[in-house]
Amino acid sequence: MTDPIIWYTRWMGDIDTQVIFNYHCPGGFDSELAFSRASRRFQPVDDALAPDFLFFDSHKKIKASCRDAFQIVDAVLVCSPAFRDVLTRFDIGSSRLYEVPIYRDATKKPSDLPPHYVLRVTEAKPGTFVPEESVNIRRPRDPITQELRSPDLPFLAVEDKDQLAVRAEAAQGVDLWYDPAIAERLFLSDRLVQAIEEVGLKSRALRFMRAKIV
């Protein structure tokens, strides 16, 4: 029997996928802080806390290398309308997409960019990642003492040179997910990756690495 194919992306850990836009949440600073923490930890968040618009910060446009997928401040993930259309054809489980207009500033001065979508990945498949069969990963250490931190913390990639191994059974179920055992990595089914490539989506965030099946 042929092994399934599972892909992963370094979208969240690659600074070249960043477009420095900011975001606004209806509840103000406290909501933005709660949303930021939840985004970095893949935690669900109440819809009332989700951003209601983005606005220019250091960047005033979307780089060509980030056309269809990028991250903004606080590692918030953003999709183009075309990418959103693909994702809605697949099972993303509990993950959510929030439509957000993009303004020139926080006063909502209009821009020439169409609405985009904030992607909140909250669907987990624990046990996907196999650390003992993966390459260029490490346990987090204290930056001063270099002592190993809690074993409950997720593994980290070494300089984006990671080569991840996964269990074959992880291919079953949803098409987009994370594993709490590895930081800043999203996993995708082969059928989702094929659909992304078929419609010609372009972005450094959508450069996929094929995981080793064990």
For the chain, give the percent of residues with pLDDT over 70.
100
Q: Is pLDDT at 148 greater than 80 in this prediction?
A: no
Tens of pLDDT, residues 35-55: 988 888 898 888 888 999 999
**Average pLDDT for 135-163:** 87
**Average pLDDT for 166-195:** 97
For the chain, give the percent of residues with pLDDT over 90.
73
Distance from C-alpha of 24 to C-alpha of 34, rounded to nearest angstrom: 12
Q: Is pLDDT at 89 greater than 90 in this prediction?
A: yes
Which of 104-118, 147-161, 197-211 is least confident?
A: 147-161
Q: Which of residues 152 and 90 earns the better pLDDT score?
A: 90
pLDDT at 159: 82
Q: Is pLDDT at 2 greater than 90 in this prediction?
A: no
pLDDT at 1: 64
Distance set, CA 38 to CA 32, 71, 157 (Å): 10, 15, 21
**Average pLDDT for 151-175:** 94
pLDDT at 85: 98
Cβ neighbors of 100 (< 8 A, separation 6 or more) are 23, 51, 52, 53, 54, 78, 115, 116, 117, 118
Q: What is the mean pLDDT of the chain?
A: 93
Q: Is pLDDT at 142 greater than 90 in this prediction?
A: no
Q: How would residue 70 be classed by pLDDT, with cut points 50, 70 and 90?
A: very high
**Average pLDDT for 95-101:** 97
pLDDT at 147: 80
**Average pLDDT for 8-34:** 91
Reported for 153-156, long-range contacts at CB under 8 A and 24+ positions apart, including other chains, are 154/180, 154/181, 154/182, 154/183, 155/129, 155/131, 155/181, 155/182, 155/183, 156/183, 156/184
Q: Is pLDDT at 56 greater than 90 in this prediction?
A: yes
Give the pTM. 0.93
Cβ neighbors of 14 (< 8 A, separation 6 or more) are 160, 204, 205
